[in-house]
Structure 1
Amino acid sequence: MKRWILSPLAAAMLAGAAVAAPATTPAASAETASGYPAKPIRLLVGYTAGGASDMVGRILAQELSDVNKQAVVVENRPGVGGMLAMSDVARAAPDGYTLGVAVSGTMVTGPHLQKTTPYDPLKDFAPVTMVAKAPMILLSTPGSETATVQQIVQQAKAKPGSMMYATGAQAFDLAMRLFNAKAGVDIGAVNYPGGNQASIDVMAGRVPLMVDTIGAQQANIRSGKLKAVAVLDSSRSSVFPDVPTVAESGVQGYEAVGWLGIVAPPGTPPAIVQKLNGQLRQILAKPAVAQKMSTLGFEPDADTPQAFAEEIRKQYTVWGEVAKHAGLTPQ
């Protein structure tokens, strides 16, 4: 079976990647952020209400509102696989009053599936912090003959090109394309504006499969509306410890992990970025917030602006290699 191996060039890029994060300098004094925020902040989310990034965004928005005594308003702007909202963030005034919930799909995977992306994920944002890892999961219609990875592979090989999966985000699409390549199957995509719309058709049996985050679909899994087939991470989820990983289920070497973070427009004063970073790290360290995130299926994982920028650059390179080796043609 074909294994993914990074080229020497990609490995060198990973080892020596420059960090594109706002550096704190003496000029970026505390005075810049001393009066911030003085008015409401907009937090843009590229997906529909009720999805993974929306739920996390609303938790953080409420906490930031409480800390700063200023409203943080979540604005859902679905479209182009989450890229519409990110494009708006990239073009917004760099004053700290427009922030975005960045996800792996819009920053490191989706851009490799587009001929043109309305922003450069490595240059057009000021990373604030990683917020959480969002483990993904393969789901199927309850009671269908796609309850296990082995059944999915068998059916897909028996009737090449006939099986479909619903996808509400670029990251989920790329995760399934990687599954196709690793398992040696050809499962086609049906695109939706968000995970909620995709799950409706999977629950109804109109499309048999989908990938989403555990957090977004946990309630539907527990209620029996969706069947949890396999976790896409390299290890099982603490939320659903009885659900095997894709690799455990026979597709050796498979791994795909999603994440969420907060970004600001490029040129946002470093002092404001650092202030937001400090506040968000304190928020994510609260036991109550950590518990709330865990209940939703997320693993809090805050870091510095510099570390977040480096992680974006590294994963962008890695997923670029995956897309190339999978023979994906940007659409």
Structure 2
Amino acid sequence: MPCSWFRPTSLSRSIARNTVCAPCTRAPVSPGGAGAFLFTMCTSSWLTTRERKPRMFSMCTNSDLAVHPHAAPAHTGPTHLTEIRRQVLKRSTFLLAACMAVAAPAVLAQGPAYPNKPVKIVVGYPPGGASDIVARLVAQELQAMNNQGFVVENRPGVGGMLGMSVVAKSPADGYTLGLGVSGTLTTGPHLTKTRLYDPLKDFEPITMVAKAPMILLASPAFKYDNVNALVREAKARPGELMFASGAQAFELALQLFKSKADVNITSVSYPGGAQASIDVMSGRVPLMVDTIGAQQENIRTGKLKPLAVLDSKRSPLFPDVPTMAEAGVNGYEALGWTSLVAPPGTPEAIVQKLNQQVGQVLAKPEVKKRLLQLGFEPWHSTPQQAGKIVASEYAKWGDVVRTSGMQAQ
């Protein structure tokens, strides 16, 4: 005799009228075969919670499965097995698709760990310069942290902006980064007719890296050793004092000083800070601005006289030298710096990882010591802070260029 019907639920009743249970067809389906598997899936899905007790089912002697003895009367007919299989496959396919839809985003989000190939850090200046040394110091530490290559690539030209244009146009995948400096992100774009990039839109800020404080210097032969006396002299002899300008950044620093102190000083252009310092040390020109790192040896040996640090705080290298504000020029600050940037649209997870790792690098005592020896000060920030600093400095130096009458070249 065929086994009895299982107790019908609303769904099973809707498809099973005048049909028979799969085992009752007496089809040659073994207990471990596909028919038993499909029927088990079907009934376990359809039955109510109370009906899913294991004791409801036992193996038949004359069929694959037997159902609860209190189930409905049996029916006979050839169509029920096909209908059951069709419904089970339909339901199983739906459940499988739903599970895959839920799991897929998590699987895709994991992806390969970053970085899984060498990372390039582009520097817009030749090897051996201050920014190049900073980039290599950071790259070396990041390489050790990630067990992956971080390679510095020098792309000099157009005042450092050629290299930054390469970064701006690179894929936003985290494998091309740039060491931006104040000259390439906030001052240079105002003084170049051909705009290679928009510093506020074409880069993803990662973090500030280091300050490069500048300092106002005088010839040892200059009779004054403080800013107040210099301002009095400049006002008494308008246009007669000369200033040796070795770079656009230093020229802008002078123009800001002239504006804040309300003095007129004549600028003399030089190819670089080294050439400018030669004439200042010899007394041909009395004044200049340069980075502390570039001139710290000449300051220590007395070949150049420090008048004021252009940062908002004193330098740990020369703690006895006052800031420009302390020297009496309120609202004055001119600061060089380096920062790490990526192409626009670089994934936030990569930006955050690099930000945290650079912060760890800059916190290392040996890194701090090396940067200080170079005249830099570690300066870690969030990506948001770095973006605000660049925007603020860009606007500030744009105003200085316009009010001073400096022309883009």
TM over 0.5: yes
User: Structure 2 matches for 1:227-246, cutoff 5 A?
Assistant: 227-246=305-324
User: Structure 2 matches for 1:1-331, cutoff 5 A?
Assistant: 29-31=109-111, 34-39=113-118, 41-46=120-125, 49-51=128-130, 53-145=131-223, 147-150=225-228, 152-153=230-231, 156=234, 158=237, 160=239, 163-168=242-247, 170-183=248-261, 184-192=263-271, 194-203=272-281, 207-331=285-409
Letter in structure 2 aligned against 1:117: R
> Equivalent residue of 1:246, what SS?
coil
- Structure 1 residue 178 displacement after superposition: 0.7
- Structure 1 residue 96 displacement after superposition: 2.8
RMSD, aligned CA: 3.1
Q: d(CA) in 1 for partners of 2:228 and 2:350?
A: 50
Q: d(CA) in 2 for partners of 1:80 and 1:161?
A: 32
- Structure 1 residue 225 displacement after superposition: 3.7
Contact (CA 8 Å) 1:44, 1:98: kept in 2 or not? no
Contact (CA 8 Å) 1:236, 1:245: kept in 2 or not? yes
Letter in structure 2 aligned against 1:31: G
Q: d(CA) in 2 for partners of 1:143 and 1:129?
A: 42
Going from structure 1 to structure 2, the CA distance change for 1:268 and 1:137 (only over 3 Å counts) comes to: same
- Structure 1 residue 48 displacement after superposition: 6.0
Going from structure 1 to structure 2, the CA distance change for 1:235 and 1:35 (only over 3 Å counts) comes to: closer
Contact (CA 8 Å) 2:211, 2:377: kept in 1 or not? yes
Going from structure 1 to structure 2, the CA distance change for 1:60 and 1:317 (only over 3 Å counts) comes to: same
> Equivalent residue of 2:317, what SS?
coil
Structure label with greater radius of gyration:
2
Letter in structure 2 aligned against 1:306: Q
Q: d(CA) in 2 for partners of 1:130 and 1:225?
A: 32
Residues 83-137 of structure 1: CA deviation (Å, up to 9, x unaligned): 2322232233433333221122221233233333311000111211111222211
Going from structure 1 to structure 2, the CA distance change for 1:39 and 1:254 (only over 3 Å counts) comes to: closer
Contact (CA 8 Å) 2:219, 2:286: kept in 1 or not? yes
Q: d(CA) in 1 for partners of 2:299 and 2:108?
A: 47
Q: d(CA) in 2 for partners of 1:112 and 1:27?
A: 46
Structure 1 gaps, min length 5: 1-25
Going from structure 1 to structure 2, the CA distance change for 1:246 and 1:304 (only over 3 Å counts) comes to: closer
| Corresponding residue of 2:63 | none
Letter in structure 2 aligned against 1:129: T
Letter in structure 2 aligned against 1:42: I
Residues 254-294 of structure 1: CA deviation (Å, up to 9, x unaligned): 22222211112223333332222221111112222223323
Going from structure 1 to structure 2, the CA distance change for 1:139 and 1:83 (only over 3 Å counts) comes to: farther
Q: d(CA) in 2 for partners of 1:114 and 1:152?
A: 32
> Equivalent residue of 1:272, what SS?
helix
Q: d(CA) in 2 for partners of 1:224 and 1:106?
A: 32
Going from structure 1 to structure 2, the CA distance change for 1:289 and 1:155 (only over 3 Å counts) comes to: same
**Larger relative contact order (C-alpha < 8 A, sep ≥ 6)?**
1
Q: d(CA) in 2 for partners of 1:95 and 1:318?
A: 32
Identity of aligned residues (%): 55
